[in-house]
Amino acid sequence: MKRLVAEALGTFVLVLGGCGSAVLSAAFPGLGIGFMGVALAFGLSVLVMACAVGHISGGHFNPAVTLGLLAGGRFPASHVIPYIIAQLVGGITAGAVLYLIASGKGDFNAAASGFAANGYGEHSPGGFSLMAGMITEGILTAVFLIVIMGATSQRAPKGFAPIAIGLALTLIHLISIPVTNTSVNPARSTAVALFQGDWALSQLWMFWLMPVIGAVMGGVIYRVLDEKAA
């Protein structure tokens, strides 16, 4: 139970920190943090929560990461469903809190603003196609898993894993915010799609499918590399 609470808490902070920066701060008049600020917010959210509770639960905060670690031989199958449920609970709770905060502004409209939801085609920030979004989400999630597994390897330098993982997520956002608004995390996508309540729900399938496929690919790739290195 402590592990599940840690996963829920970590995912809560990830969604509130990352999506909150996108909804509340990215385009704030005169002081907006822009794409780079949002990318840093996601990376910092993972970094600080990996340091805070990663030693309790492993610091997944992401269903795709959990499934990728399963594929990589780093996580037991019996824990997968409870972890994913905890991550969704934490993420959706953060989405609800963010919705309540954003609603404090009189002209706020989640459907019209997008509410930091992930999208492709006409709902891609840069107008990128479904195919471009699928490639982006799949490949970048695979890279994320390779970084996670490498940084947490027994042969990796000790104590640096949260920094490497947080910076990797920052880099991923710097690449892909224009394409899909960056998911690589089905819990993050679900958390805001439910409150955006319009097109985001109809496109949510892709932000489950491709991060999971990419994560499994990354887990398998690193497992093969690690065996060869050993």
DSSP string, 76-129: -GGGHHHHHHHHHHHHHHHHHHHHHHHTTSTT--HHHH-TT----GGGSTT---
CATH number of the domain where residue 137 is located? 1.20.1080.10
**Residues near 2 by beta carbon (within 8 Å), at least 6 away in sequence:** 56, 57
Does a structural domain hold residue 230?
no
User: Measured on CA atoms in the order 159, 160, 165, 166, is the torsion positive or negative?
Assistant: positive
Q: What pLDDT sits at residue 112? A: 86
pTM of this prediction exceeds 0.85: yes
Please state, in angstroms and rounded to a whole number, the distance separating the CA atoms of residues 22 and 155. 36
Domain that holds residue 94: 1-225
How does pLDDT run across 166-188, given as a tens digit for each residue?
A: 999 999 999 999 999 999 999 99
Q: What pLDDT sits at residue 70? A: 97
How does pLDDT run across 41-95, given as a tens digit for each residue?
A: 999 999 999 999 999 999 999 999 999 999 999 999 999 999 999 999 999 999 9
Domain count, the chain: 1
- Among the listed residues 132, 110, 114, 111, the one whose alpha carbon sits nearest the alpha carbon of residue 123: 114
